[in-house]
Amino acid sequence: MPCDRPAWPSIERWGMTVGVLVLTAGLAGFDRWFFEHVSCTLETKERPFDLDFYTLTKPLWLFLRFTFGYGFVALAVLGGVMIVRWRRMPRHEAAAVCLIVVGLAANVVQGAIGRLRPNQAESQYAFAAPFSELLSKTGVSFPSGEAATAFAAAVVLSSLFPRWTAGVLVAALLTAVARLVNGAHYPSDVAAGALFGWFATRWLLPRIAVLLRRTTTTGPGLAQSLDATV
């Protein structure tokens, strides 16, 4: 019987195409237009219909941010599975470590690049001094750390639970959209974050599995099983 696993090549092909197009168009000037004509329209309190839309949907955006954007759901699921399926703990440990590393790396890159958030500058090409926002990160946005974490969580969860693939990818996409709805990021920010989170996790996960295999007494199937799904 064929292995039930995500159709990575097809997903990656379409995802990379869309992500690169959004990233390129955004950096070419679409970013500022989107913020001024879409994000600011959705946020404004001067138009009742816009306010109603944002008010009604805000709980959804906040839920996605605090679950997928911060990786809490993925870590909670992995923690629960470690308890229930303790014999496979190294496999889930590798997934948890990878998620944390990719999320932290995205935020470090964000602080190092120092691109100012849409509401912090008049131009999409405004940057803070390199590494000056490495610790605070309150005013910088590229790449989106929450988009990166959400897509890293999508890779981890769909690799371990292939039947969840569609659901976790939709959740990751909506988490990225949430950062546009509230005007905290430009489209290129979330596109770069999504691409970073996806491909960094796909590359790193099997390598962390190999490292854990070498430092534990677990059988040699750990890295191969993860590599087969990742």
Task: Specify the pTM.
Answer: 0.82
186-206 pLDDT, tens digit per residue, is 999 999 999 999 999 999 988
**Direct distance between the N- and C-terminal alpha carbons of the chain, in angstroms, rounded to an integer:** 19
Are 73 and 153 in contact by the 8 Å Cβ rule? The answer is: yes
Q: What is the DSSP letter of 87?
A: G
58-109 pLDDT, tens digit per residue, is 888 888 888 888 877 777 776 666 555 555 556 777 888 888 899 899 989 9
What pLDDT is stored for residue 222 in this prediction?
A: 44
